[in-house]
Structures are given as C-alpha cells and as structure tokens.
Amino acid sequence: MIRKPVWVIAPFDGTVTALFPTKHAIGLTSRDGIELLIHVGINTVELNGEHFETFVTQGDTVRRGQKLIGFDLEKIAQAGYPTQTMVIVTNTPAFESVSVQENPELH
C-alpha cells in the first residue's frame, strides 16, 4: 500500500486497453474512440512497480473519476526519477483538434 498516494483518475468513461506490469503506465480508450496513454514519471519502468499500486486490470470498463493507479510521488523522486506525468493522445490523426480542459469536479 502506498503511504502518500497521488492518483491517476480516469478522465472519461472507457476501457483499459493496456496496463503495464510495472504499473507506471496505462492505456485507455474512450467510448468515442480517444486512445490515451498516461505515463507516470520518466524511466519509472525501471522501478518494476515499486511505489505504484493499480486498481484496475487490462480489459476493465472504467468510469470518469475512477481511481486507476496510485503512486508515491516523493518516493519516486527520492529514487532519482523525474516525476512528470505524460498524458498522450496516441491517435491524434483521427481528430480535427485535441484540447485539454480541467475538470473542477475532480479537485
């Protein structure tokens, strides 16, 4: 269990299409076809899941606002890894434009 978790929360209703065994990254597909990769930290695959906890499995259906991954930001930084989290739309050519909006309901 993570002592001071930071949560990766589902940004939309959809399906978990990829969940790395090292728990540092997750792929989601929305009901309307957005393919999203959320990658916690840089080179954190090298932690082999340490400081990470998952709450879903590949193939699960998820709801917007649902907890997907928890991680200990401080421990990851103390281990020497950058903690930037990337949110990447992997199928951007399928859309005319892509924009990000903050959801105040999740604060």
- Rounded to whole angstroms, how far apart are CA atoms 24 and 45? 6
Distance between CA atoms of 33 and 11, rounded to whole angstroms? 13
The residue among 26, 4, 7, 1 whose CA lies nearest residue 15 is 26
Token digits of residue 95: 């859309």
The catalytically annotated residue of 24, 39, 51, 107 is 39
Q: Which helix (H) or strand (E) holds 77?
A: helix 73-78
24 is known as an active-site residue: no
Three-state DSSP state, 78: helix
Tokens of 61: 């259906």
Catalytic residues: 39
